[in-house]
Amino acid sequence: MASRIHHLAPLAALLALAACGGDSALLPSRPADAQAGQAAVAAATSVAPTLTAPVPRPTARTADELNTTSPQQRAEAAAAPAGRQERLGTTVASLGDPTQPGFWIKTPLVSAAGKGRIVNPANGKSANVEMLPLPGPASGGSQVSLPALQLIGVSLTDLPRIEVYRQ
């Protein structure tokens, strides 16, 4: 019984967050915080235009509202990457900040920002992403953007193992 409840706790938390309306203390303030975060990422990593997207509206609450990428950006992120790739390893992926737009992964598998690709080995789907360092051991998990998780066919409540490549 306790094991079953343990597995349902993350889902219950996500549902509670989704049910929040108006001014929720659980969600980061928007748009100032989200815009500042996007500007910091862009300045620190010189993000390619295909990997960035507009900041979601302050009233965005659903996955569709939070994913501000265009169909063209999704197609470019899904395109086969050009050039040589280095496999960095596998990591457990979880949903990162859903208000931070674009295609990115924050992972302890890199020590500097750069371009890369993530692959869902369960279905072979991949996404070109901006790779951002995340403090912690290389065996630690990674945070992935909402659009990138959707592109590789991962449920936002799952914790799948994904493959990470540097371009």
* pLDDT (0 to 100) of residue 2: 46
- Considering only the top CATH level, what class is 47-166? mainly beta
| Number of Cα atoms under 13 Å in the Cβ half of residue 161 | 4
Q: Enumerate the H helices of the chain as residue ranges.
A: 2-19, 32-45, 63-66, 71-78, 146-151
What does the alpha-carbon distance between residue 66 and residue 50 come to, in Å, rounded to a whole number? 17
57-61, 97-101, 130-134, 144-148: range with lowest mean pLDDT: 57-61
Contact 128, 105 (CB under 8 A): no
**Per-residue pLDDT reduced to its tens digit, 86-119:** 999 999 999 999 999 999 999 999 999 999 999 9
Task: Using CB atoms within 10 Å of the CB of residue 119, give its burial: 0 to 12 exposed, 13 to 18 middle, 19+ buried.
Answer: middle
The stretch 67-84 carries a mean pLDDT of 89
User: What average pLDDT does this structure show over 69-96?
Assistant: 93
How does residue 51 score in pLDDT terms, banded at 50, 70 and 90? Answer: low
- 71 dihedral zone (left: phi>0; alpha: psi -120 to 50; beta): alpha
Per-residue confidence (pLDDT) for residue 12, from 0 to 100 = 42
Q: How many C-beta neighbours within 10 Å does residue 29 have?
A: 12
Is there a contact between 47 and 37 (Cβ–Cβ < 8 Å)?
no
**Peptide bond preceding 133 in cis form (omega within 30 of 0):** no
